[in-house]
Structures are given as structure tokens and as C-alpha cells.
């Protein structure tokens, strides 16, 4: 196996595959609350980068829904983290934030989308990943759209599966 690049060593705790331990909860003022399952993969090939794929499914029908993939980089000699993300909805984003202990707090800095993306368009995203003392990983996502201020959209916890 290739050694983890020291530039991303502070993110080693993310590496591997994570499965949600119970369905995540999705909500937003304009939609019907829903439940979903999700698998996260974080890997590396020795570059100063973590590669990731997030695949979400409908909790009951198991149909594939939301998918994201991308890269994580760290600014050398700082706790500054950047996520470079592509989503199957036609959205691409840069999120930046900080690593403090085993928590990542991220804000979107740049969003772009395909010309025929579904409306309403998302205008801002805030995300938190936290490795909890019980070894579970938690992700929460809030977003603002054309019509709604920053409000929670997703909350889910995962257990490491490999
Ligand atoms: C709805 C964005 C992740 C499932 C929406 C809406 C937006 C959005 C803008 C429309 C809200 C409205 O109509 O007012 C995002 C963003 C995500 C994300 C930016 C990631 C950062 C996910 C994930 C799932 C999911 C992981 C899991 C399955 C849904 C569902 C709806 C929805 C079921 C309602 C039905 C629909 O509009 O398709 N999302 N979403 N989303 N999202 Fe997400």
C-alpha cells in the first residue's frame, strides 16, 4: 500500500468506507421530510489529496439518489481544508473550512451548475463532519436556496465498515 502523503495526515481518521448505521434524515421547509442511506469512501494514492465518493439511496426503495465525488486538500502548515466537489445534480462546489480535533467545519466558497439545473438553485452550503467519541462519523448539511435562508437539509451518522 502507498503511504499517506504527510500533507493530508491530519485527515487520516476519514480514510476507509463508512455506512450509515441508521437511515439519515432529510428535511427542508419546502419538501417532504425523507429518509436515506449513504455510503462514504475516502481513499488516497499517495498524493497530497484525499479522494472521496458519497453515494446516497432512498431508504425504502433503495434507489440511487444523490451522488457526490471529489477531492480534499489541506493548505500546508495550517488547519485549512478545501473540498472540491461534483454532484450528480449538476452542481459543482468548492467548500473551505477548518479542521479542529476530529471535526471539519466547511462553508461553500464557490458554486456553479449546469445551465438546465433544477430549481430552486442552492446558493450556500454549510457542512460539518465530526468523528464522535463513540467512533461514529456524523455529517450535517445546511443550505440556502433562492427561496430559503440557511436551513438544515441533512443529518446522518455512519459507522466504519472497512
Ligand atoms: C431536495 C440540494 C444532498 C435528497 C433538494 C433541493 C435542493 C437540494 C436545492 C430542493 C429544495 C427545494 O425544493 O426547495 C442538495 C445539496 C446537497 C443535497 C446541495 C448536498 C450538499 C442530498 C442527499 C440526499 C438528498 C445526500 C439523499 C438522498 C433530496 C430529496 C429532495 C431534495 C429527496 C426532495 C425531492 C427533490 O427535490 O428531489 N436538495 N441536496 N439531497 N434533496 Fe437534496
Task: Express each pLDDT in 77-128 by its tens digit.
Answer: 999 999 999 999 999 999 999 999 999 999 999 999 999 999 999 999 999 9
The mean pLDDT value for 52-79 works out to 97
* CB contact at 8 A, 57 and 37: yes
**In this predicted structure, what is the pLDDT of residue 1?**
85
* CB contact at 8 A, 126 and 150: yes
CATH fold of 6-156: Lipocalin (2.40.128)
**In this predicted structure, what is the pLDDT of residue 151?**
98
The mean pLDDT value for 119-139 works out to 98
Whole-complex ipTM: 0.98
Instruction: State the Cα–Cα distance between residues 127 and 105, nearest whole angstrom.
Output: 6
Mutate which of 30, 69, 108, 154 for ligand 1? The one with the most ligand atoms within 8 Å of its CB, which is 154
Looking only at the bridges linking them, the beta strands covering 64-74 and 91-100 are unpaired
- Looking at the DSSP assignment, which residues form a beta bridge with residue 38? 56
Cβ–ligand 1 contact at 153 (below 6 Å): yes
Q: Kindly tell me if the per-residue pLDDT of 162 is higher than 90.
A: no
**In this predicted structure, what is the pLDDT of residue 23?**
98
* CB contact at 8 A, 109 and 92: no
Instruction: State the Cα–Cα distance between residues 159 and 142, nearest whole angstrom.
Output: 22
Amino acid at each position: 500500500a502507498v503511504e499517506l502523503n504527510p500533507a493530508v495526515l491530519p485527515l487520516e481518521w476519514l480514510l476507509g468506507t463508512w455506512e450509515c448505521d441508521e437511515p439519515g434524515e432529510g428535511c427542508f421547509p419546502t419538501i417532504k421530510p425523507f429518509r436515506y442511506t449513504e455510503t462514504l469512501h475516502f481513499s488516497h494514492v499517495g498524493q497530497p489529496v484525499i479522494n472521496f465518493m458519497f453515494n446516497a439511496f432512498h431508504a425504502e426503495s433503495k434507489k440511487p439518489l444523490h451522488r457526490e465525488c471529489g477531492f480534499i486538500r489541506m493548505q500546508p502548515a495550517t488547519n485549512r481544508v478545501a473540498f472540491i466537489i461534483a454532484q450528480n445534480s449538476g452542481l459543482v462546489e468548492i467548500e473551505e473550512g477548518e479542521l479542529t480535533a476530529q471535526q471539519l467545519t466547511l462553508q461553500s466558497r464557490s458554486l456553479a451548475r449546469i445551465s438546465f439545473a433544477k430549481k430552486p438553485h442552492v446558493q450556500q452550503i454549510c457542512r460539518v463532519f465530526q468523528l464522535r467519541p463513540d467512533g461514529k462519523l456524523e455529517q450535517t448539511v445546511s443550505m440556502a436556496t433562492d427561496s430559503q435562508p440557511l436551513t438544515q437539509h441533512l443529518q446522518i451518522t455512519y459507522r466504519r465498515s472497512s
